[in-house]
Amino acid sequence: MHAVVITEPGGPEVLRWTEVPDPAPGPGEVVINVAASAVNRADLMQRQGAYPPPTGAPPYPGLECSGTIAAVGDGVTGWRLGEQVCALLAGGGYAEKVAVPVGQLLPLPQATRLNKAAALPETVCTVYSNVFQLARLAKGETLLVHGGGSGIGTTAIQLARAFNAGAIFATAGTHDKCKVCEQLGATRGIDYKHEDFLKVVREMTANRGVDVVLDMVGGDYIPRNLSALARDGRHVSIATQRGITAEVNFLTVMMKRLILTGSTLRARSVEEKGAIAASLRREVWPLLDRGKVKPVIHRTFPLADVAAAHQLMESSAHIGKIVLSV
């Protein structure tokens, strides 16, 4: 088979579409003939040498894929050869074939075409496990999503609306991205280059603040996020694009009874990922089947043109997901 190999740490030019050995399914695994994968910021970090794959994962980038089951390992039940699926991966999605633990498989949603389904597993798992499992966003509660125009942001807005959240605020870097956020269900898109998100949130909540913040920015956003939270609010960190450290006034945390939490997904155990996937199949997949939640896809590239896809993500000009088609 062919896969995208990182020849050395560096820019998009270090990615090579190269012939590599085929994977074989181990016990409890299947091999997928990959139809498509999708680009995530973690892939860019891996390419740069800053985010190596977990032990035992394929060395190739790619944290999600869609395709058809081509081979089944010992002990696998409930799935058949030729079945169309999508899957959460620890790596290896940028390839023609990938082996994946059966617990990380998800059926193709009824309202989603095979190639588009590649844009679902990583973002939906991340949003659901953080916003609804960790932060426990409940019906009627308010949410602030940073990076509203990203794959994570567009998914978080749709899921929060589908689960009947209250006001949803989403920051984004352009007017057009803010408009897309509102079309997807955000109460207010906030152009962070021209507006102060803290001021907007305070004005639109009568100084109460929001119940949950989903943050992928980190750094100097953290204290402002805490100021934007209501009493008993929950702050969830999933990335640190502006830095891994922040100065926090813990008197604010104590007085408001705030909870600060966060997670990563890639390094979690097969069992943990399987539990998240099972929750998605039960709670989220019916929404996808009915088309109430849809992947937002900016552009699809041939997998062999992966360098151009990485360049697009680095520009931050996209809205939603960037898909790689085999």
pLDDT confidence of residue 134: 97
Whether residues 111 and 135 fall in one domain: no
Whether residues 318 and 197 fall in one domain: no
pLDDT confidence of residue 54: 92
pLDDT confidence of residue 60: 97
Paired with 139 in beta bridges are none
Please, what is the average pLDDT of the chain?
97
Q: Which among 279, 238, 232, 282 has a CA at the least distance from the CA of 258?
A: 232
Amino acid (one-letter) located at 85: V
Whether residues 104 and 130 fall in one domain: no
Boundary of a domain, candidates 211, 238, 262: 262
State the DSSP H helix or E strand holding residue 314, giving kind and residue range, or none if neither. helix 306-315
Q: pLDDT confidence of 104, banded at 50, 70, 90? A: very high
Q: pLDDT digit string (tens) for 148-182?
A: 999 999 999 999 999 999 999 999 999 999 999 99
Measured between alpha carbons, how far is 209 from 154 in angstroms, rounded to an integer?
A: 21
**Model-level pTM?**
0.96
Average pLDDT over residues 62-80: 97
Whether residues 73 and 9 fall in one domain: yes
Both structure tokens of 245: 């450290």
Whether residues 59 and 112 fall in one domain: yes
Measured between alpha carbons, how far is 39 from 123 in angstroms, rounded to an integer?
A: 11
Q: pLDDT confidence of 89, banded at 50, 70, 90? A: very high
Q: pLDDT digit string (tens) for 180-229?
A: 999 999 999 999 999 999 999 999 999 999 999 999 999 999 999 999 99
Whether residues 186 and 303 fall in one domain: no
Whether residues 257 and 303 fall in one domain: no
Domain assignment of residue 234, given as a range: 124-262
pLDDT confidence of residue 243: 94
Whether residues 249 and 189 fall in one domain: yes
HSE toward the beta carbon, residue 103, CA cutoff 13 A: 14
Boundary of a domain, candidates 219, 235, 262: 262
Whether residues 175 and 249 fall in one domain: yes
Measured between alpha carbons, how far is 144 from 235 in angstroms, rounded to an integer?
A: 10
CA 79 to the chain's CA centroid: 25
pLDDT confidence of residue 314: 97
